[in-house]
Amino acid sequence: MSRTIKSTGIVLLVMLCAACAVRSPHKEANDTLEPVNRAVYKFNDVFDRAILKPVAQGYQRYVPATARTGVRNFYSNLGEPVNIVNNFLQAKPKDALSDTMRFGFNTIFGVFGLVDVATGWGLEKHDEDFGQTFGVWGFGEGWYLVLPFLGPSTVRDAAGIPLAWRLNPVNRRTEGYTTAALVGVFMVSKRADLLSATEVLDTAALDKYVQVREAWRQKRWYDIHDGNPPEPDFFDEELFKD
């Protein structure tokens, strides 16, 4: 598994370098692989409707809110090492120090992150990843990708997945069924948090594939600029087609 992840990372990084000339989003997405992406999107949608969404609905219905919050906090805490590294890579030492303290306090005093004590102590939560770092460094999006199970991405963002995987404490210290179970619970927890959002999407009359693609790209542009992006110039005209 580790060797496969490394090989995939090398391929994606080479593709990322080929896309580095594009420094900001296009008016239209670089969806060269749209036929393949739509097929993967359909596969993900079928998997979601048949398995993931029903399980998430049951999780939300039968698991107490306090327990769901604890699960959410636990996985959020596991993501702090990625936040810390990427804050350093983006030249944000203050945020990196804050996230290091968050990780330590929540792990020790919050019972391995089940309780988010750090936020109450004034340590703001940050969400950084390698895709954002590559964007800050000036790499373009590259091709838009829809990944099996993971959903929307780009070459730039996909290149960071193997790096984030290596930094996650769970992936470094568990293997086999334990890792699979932890990843499964994470997916169900995240899906439960998105139930209301997907209900809105399901009622839309426009092309859902295009809606998801453009909404995701806009959010990533927003994330890269820490919530204060320049005027966006990538609204896809396909959104407004009949």
- The model's pLDDT over 84-140, given as tens digits with 9 standing for 90+, comes to 999 999 999 999 999 999 999 999 999 999 999 999 999 999 999 999 999 999 999
Domains in the chain: boundaries: 2-21+41-229
The more confident residue out of 37 and 19 is 37
Report the C-alpha gap between 233 and 156 in whole angstroms: 19
- The pTM (predicted TM-score) of the whole model is 0.80
pLDDT tens-place string over residues 181-239: 999 999 999 999 998 878 777 776 578 999 999 999 999 999 998 888 876 555 444 44
Predicted local distance difference test score (pLDDT) of residue 125:
93
What's the token pair of residue 13? 């990084």
CA 227 to chain CA centroid, nearest Å: 16
Residue 175 confidence (pLDDT) above 80: no
Count Cβ atoms below 10 Å from residue 6 Cβ, excluding itself. 11
